Amino acid sequence: MKTYCPIGVFDSGIGGLTVLKEIVKKLPAYDYIYLGDSARAPYGTRSFETVYQYTLECVQKLFAMNCQLVILACNTASAKALRNIQQLDLPRIAPDKRVLGVIRPTSEVVGKFTKTKCVGVLGTTGTVNSDSYKIEIEKFFPDIKVFQQACPMWVPLIENIEMNSPAADFFVKKEIDSLFSKNDKIDTIILGCTHYPILLDKIKKHLSPSVTILSQGEIVADSLGDYLKRHAEIESKCSKSGTKEFYTTDSTENFDKLATIFWKENIRSKHLSL
């Protein structure tokens, strides 16, 4: 029997489930471990150093659970920690393991969607201030202009199960209006935080129907499928019994309540101490 070697999927909280859901739809055969660092969420307002240190700790936990490949299903961690982990930490701590993020695969495809060449990015303060989307999109599509808006209230609203409240409507409208005040020709929006699809209905309500909202989960799932095809040395190590395990660094009760609303199936998580 093949050794249990799941694919690790990491986020600061439950947002990464929006990515895992699409990954499982596309690649159901593999085993997955999801880790949400809910005890320390949100990451979006934390410093570069803190996000890097928290993310590295969680990646090491996933490596210790025998993950060969970890996806940072978190834009903030992808913006602030991925490069250091790939370039400084992996060669030292786990040269045969791989860590991938979500910003690059999303940036690679955005040119297929925009006609006006004006793209909007909604993200956490950390992701927006890092300019990671601007930098990545510029590499692939130098003619695209990127306009960004930080939405610091959106993740706390979701993590506190307030996503259907009037407060959520207020803050969604506020940030979308701010984004479009920067440029009204934006025809494509990247939800540059994996929590935001949970607010999708509200986001759509305040947007013109002509604006395309990219589905980051699907994009990342396609990109992972492609990566596994191109990297047999990693793919061959990933076990395929179709299992899913969920871990949180905070109360499992809160995690399960929130995760179940979103996942639409009962989730029974386990606690992981850091």
- Find the binder of ligand DGL among 41, 103, 172, 186 (CB under 6 A): 41
Widest pairwise Cα distance in the chain: 58
- Find the binder of ligand DGL among 155, 157, 198, 259 (CB under 6 A): 155
Catalytic annotation on 74? yes
Torsion angle of C-alpha atoms 194, 267, 221, 107, degrees rounded to 10: 0
Catalytic annotation on 5? no
Residue 11 backbone dihedrals phi, psi, to 5 degrees = -150, 165
Within 87-146, the residues that bind ligand DGL by CB under 6 A are 124, 127
What distances in angstroms separate CA 194 from CA 14, 97, 183, 210, one per listed residue? 8, 23, 24, 22
Minimum distance of ligand DGL from residue 131's CB (angstroms):
14
CB 35 within 8 A of CB 9: yes
Minimum distance of ligand DGL from residue 42's CB (angstroms):
3
- Find the binder of ligand DGL among 12, 107, 130, 149 (CB under 6 A): 12
Q: Which is nearer to ligand DGL, 11 or 175 (CB)?
A: 11
Binding mask 47-86 for ligand DGL (x = CB under 6 A): ---------------------------xxx----------
CB 248 within 8 A of CB 9: no
Q: Which is nearer to ligand DGL, 76 or 107 (CB)?
A: 76
Choose the catalytic residue: 5, 58, 74, 151.
74
Cα distance between residue 40 and residue 77, in whole Å: 13
| DSSP label at residue 1 | -
Task: Look up residue 127 and give its amino acid.
Answer: T
Of 10-18, 82-90, 170-178, 249-257, the segment contacting ligand DGL by CB under 6 A is: 10-18
In the chain, alpha helices (H):
17-26, 48-64, 75-80, 82-84, 90-93, 103-109, 125-130, 132-140, 154-159, 166-182, 200-205, 216-230, 232-235, 252-263
Establish if 259 lies at the interface with ligand DGL (CB under 6 A): no
Within 167-226, the residues that bind ligand DGL by CB under 6 A are 193-195
Instruction: Please name the residues in contact with 233: beta carbons below 8 A apart, sequence gap of 6 or more.
Output: none
Residue facing ligand DGL at closest CB distance: 44
CA angle 153, 200, 183 (to 5 degrees): 75
Minimum distance of ligand DGL from residue 74's CB (angstroms):
4
- As a whole number of Å, the end-to-end CA separation of the chain is 30
- Find the binder of ligand DGL among 36, 42, 120, 197 (CB under 6 A): 42
CB 90 within 8 A of CB 99: yes
Using CB under 6 A as the binding criterion, the count of chain residues that bind ligand DGL stands at 17
Q: Which is nearer to ligand DGL, 21 or 195 (CB)?
A: 195
Of 6-14, 22-30, 131-139, 142-150, the segment contacting ligand DGL by CB under 6 A is: 6-14
Give catalytic residue positions. 74, 193
Which residues make up the interface to ligand DGL (CB under 6 A)? Answer: 11-13, 15, 41-44, 74-76, 124, 127, 155, 193-195
